[in-house]
Amino acid sequence: MRIAIVFLAATLSGAWAQDTKMPVPLEKLALDKLAEKAVESVDVTLDGNLLQLAGKFLSEKDADQAKAKKLIAGLKSIMVRSFTFAKDGEYNLGDYPDLRDHVQLPAGWSHIVGVTSKRGGDNVDVYLKTGDGSQIGGLVVIAAEPKELTIVHITGTIRPEDLADLGGQFGIPKLDVPRKNSEQKKGKE
């Protein structure tokens, strides 16, 4: 019996680790060194418990906060690292293709957008993990701009319409993600 429990726990923890495993090799980015050079750095790491706690303190009255509250309800974790530099070239943007080559996508992840600039512009990659049904199981965004490097890793259930809200709310224009048929009908009515 004990062996079965230990085996089950190990399997579940393995599955959880696989689920929350970062497909981007952060250790290869030497983030501490980047943080030293950056004029501004953001380091946000929120696990399921903190997200649940944060949800209690997000106001229903504020439109952005209400959207965020709805969005984080299905999330397991959020990790954001962002570095802003004073001048172009303060971090080696040329290393970006190498970084992308090192991205190890576990099963279920897909590379949906890849923008590469050969003239020192923006490089953006978006990876999605397919979840249950039409839902998204995770999101990774890596954006390397001349003065800014951002890595986002979100795990948990994200509805496509939430992804649209993510692009449309919080003070920035909306992403064109198609809504479900039922919602489109509602909209027409």
Q: Which residues bind another protein (CB under 8 A)?
A: 42, 44, 46, 50-51, 53-58, 64-65, 68, 71-72, 78, 80, 82, 113, 115, 122, 124-126, 139, 141, 143, 145, 150, 152, 154, 163, 166-173, 175-176
Q: Considering beta carbons, is residue 11 or 45 the nearer one to another protein?
A: 45
Question: Which of 169, 155, 137, 134 shows the shortest CA–CA distance to 64?
Answer: 169
Q: Sheet of 136-145: strands edge to edge?
A: 40-46, 75-84, 148-158, 136-145, 123-130, 109-115
State the nearest-atom distance from the C-beta of 4 to another protein, in Å. Answer: 37
Distance between CA atoms of residues 24 and 39, nearest Å: 23
Q: Considering beta carbons, is residue 107 or 147 the nearer one to another protein?
A: 147
Q: Considering beta carbons, is residue 8 or 73 the nearer one to another protein?
A: 73
Beta-carbon neighbour count of residue 102 at 10 Å?
A: 13
Distance between CA atoms of residues 22 and 104, nearest Å: 8
Q: Considering beta carbons, is residue 132 or 176 the nearer one to another protein?
A: 176
Question: Which of 148, 147, 151 shows the shortest CA–CA distance to 139?
Answer: 151
State the nearest-atom distance from the C-beta of 77 to another protein, in Å. Answer: 10
| Continuous segment of H or E residues that includes residue 56 | helix 48-56
Q: Considering beta carbons, is residue 14 or 178 the nearer one to another protein?
A: 178
State the nearest-atom distance from the C-beta of 124 to another protein, in Å. Answer: 4
State the nearest-atom distance from the C-beta of 74 to another protein, in Å. Answer: 13
State the nearest-atom distance from the C-beta of 10 to another protein, in Å. Answer: 30
Cα dihedral sign for 13, 153, 35, 168? negative
